[in-house]
Structure 1
Amino acid sequence: MSSVRVRSQRTRLGAVNGLSDVEVFPDASGGTPLVHLCSESEWSALRRDGERRPPGFAADGFVHLSTPNQVHLPADRLFRGRNDLVLLTLDAARLGAPVRFEPGVADDPADARFPHLYGPLPLGAVIRAEPYPPGPDGRFPPRET
């Protein structure tokens, strides 16, 4: 794995469950971003290790991603009520492995296609990291665009 040094620009938001800053990194592609949800501890591990292979990676062969407009669907289904989530915005040009848009689960809209990264998620692809808290009812509403 090649070593990539990235400088972050931090924007102060105030403490939210231990993640007190939004971290913004340079975006090389300027294209539509993809996003990935992880816990604060998984984000720390990604920063330490330089790449992320989620628990299901060995069985599935891919990392689950979303678009910003659909991230609430898996967030609400899988993480309802969790207050330790970090939303990683990714530069698709830096992922270093194929991304395929594929159907989600039966409860997702019939025409929904979710991006799957067929390789580990490299730290160098992260262009933004921010807290992703649920609403007061524990659910994750659609993001405003």
Structure 2
Amino acid sequence: MSTTIVHLTERSLWEEARARGTYAMSTRGRTLQEEGFIHCSTREQLPKVAAFLYSDYDGPDELVLLVIDPARLGAPLKYEAPEPGAEEFPHIYGPIPVDAVVGVEPWV
């Protein structure tokens, strides 16, 4: 069994993805098409990522954590650093099929 990775998003974006069959937002306010990949993290990286991306969030939707099984992706998954020597983060180079999301957790 593969280790899961996670992605923090707004509930309405996840609900739209469930209706379409794939999730294609890269990060807050940017799509997969705009960014080239979907930003993800490990659970250990999540607190820093959440603070960086959503510390000022006061949107109408609650935030949810998508728990993703990499074995179900069907798109390349690469661990990459934003700059040489920095911590590596999981990046998915394609849309996430909804059946690759094995859990959805509220983020508080």
With normalisation by structure 2, the TM-score equals 0.84
* Deviation digits for residues 23-63 of structure 1 (CA, Å, limit 9, x no counterpart): xxxxxxx2211111110101111111110111331122101
SS of the residue 1:69 aligns to:
coil
The correspondence for 1:89, drawn from 67, 74, 93, is 67
What count of residue pairs does the alignment treat as equivalent?
A: 101
Counterpart amino acid of residue 101 in structure 1: Y
Unaligned runs of 5+ in 1: 1-29, 134-145
Measure, in 2, the Cα distance between the counterparts of 1:91 and 1:102.
18
Measure, in 1, the Cα distance between the counterparts of 2:18 and 2:57.
21
* Deviation digits for residues 69-119 of structure 1 (CA, Å, limit 9, x no counterpart): 1011221101015371100111110011101111137xxxx5410000000
SS of the residue 1:104 aligns to:
coil
How large is the Cα RMSD of the aligned pairs?
A: 1.8
Measure, in 2, the Cα distance between the counterparts of 1:43 and 1:53.
9
Partner of 1:15: none
SS of the residue 1:112 aligns to:
coil
Partner of 1:99: 77
With normalisation by structure 1, the TM-score equals 0.64
Measure, in 1, the Cα distance between the counterparts of 2:3 and 2:36.
23
Measure, in 2, the Cα distance between the counterparts of 1:59 and 1:130.
26
Instruction: Identify the structure with bigger relative contact order (alpha carbons < 8 Å, sequence gap 6+).
Output: 2
The correspondence for 1:116, drawn from 85, 91, 107, is 91
SS of the residue 1:31 aligns to:
coil
* Higher-Rg member (1/2): 1
Identity of aligned residues (%): 39
The correspondence for 1:50, drawn from 21, 25, 29, is 21
Counterpart amino acid of residue 50 in structure 1: G
Unaligned runs of 5+ in 2: none
